[in-house]
Amino acid sequence: MTMFRSTSTSYWSDNEGKPVRFLGQGGYGYVTLVEFSSVFPSETEEKLAKKTSLMSKADSMHREIRILCHCNVPNIVRPATPFIYTKTVNGVEACSINLKYASKGTLSDVIKENDGRLRQKHVKCFTRMILRRLMALHAEGYVHCDLKSANILAFPSKAVGEICELKISDFGLAKEPTEDGFLTDNRICPGTLLYMPPESIGPGSRILSALDIWSLGCVVLEMFGASCFPRTVPGDISDDAKDFVSRCMKVNPAERWSTEWLMRIPF
């Protein structure tokens, strides 16, 4: 194992870990559940999510680990160790990072497990969780750029009546505070097309927090079992829920409400 960068000393005795099972994949690569033995015999083994990409995606990995280690936003998925590791398998170089394991999967998994639609009280609870995380991110100058149900991880919750606790993950495409976010030529904003707003195609576009707000609207529709492209709003949801989605998905980004204003909507 070769260490790219570190901010502290690793406390794992075996950085490879014991593979347990495959968790999922995306444009970045794939994630596996791995089990690590503790340095101390008295401690139990720890399960982590190992995110692996080809070396061509190393810049994205560097961005993600940098953001996760240094931003002060609470309740995002933190790395288990502040390292990026490399390994060559069958002549192919890959890099990986170790993240906290979300035993309940993703928000997408939670929706599927509930027959493709959540009850409104759970949609309301989850939306406020996500909104609080986004509000903290935007306050520090970050834009996630790839907010979707598959990038929101679900952890066990101790709160009565809550299905789980949600945390935002996958910051490899995020805009950092030091970047202006302007797109040149015909560049397209990073992210997943299904969750992207109309202004995401350049030239002349700029990555702003309003991009995440549109994506949030898409996630809310998805939790209600509806489509975000083409946009369909279920007729049986409350007027407050319809109002919330409409504030998120204004075609003009300047008209979309900020996270602070969205928190004031009764929904």
Q: What is the set of active-site residues?
A: 146
Contact 146, 191 (CB under 8 A): yes
CA pair distance 25, 154, nearest whole angstrom? 17
Residues with Cβ within 8 Å of residue 239, at least 6 apart in sequence: none
Residues with Cβ within 8 Å of residue 146, at least 6 apart in sequence: 170, 172, 173, 174, 190, 191, 192, 195, 215
Residues with Cβ within 8 Å of residue 227, at least 6 apart in sequence: 221
Q: Nearest Cα to 108, choosing from 126, 81, 134, 135?
A: 126
What six digits make up the tokens of 152?
């929101």
What six digits make up the tokens of 120?
């409104």
Contact 51, 17 (CB under 8 A): no
Contact 85, 2 (CB under 8 A): yes
What six digits make up the tokens of 83?
């390292």
CA pair distance 6, 55, nearest whole angstrom? 18
Q: Nearest Cα to 124, choosing from 232, 237, 210?
A: 237
Q: Nearest Cα to 210, choosing from 153, 178, 242, 252?
A: 252
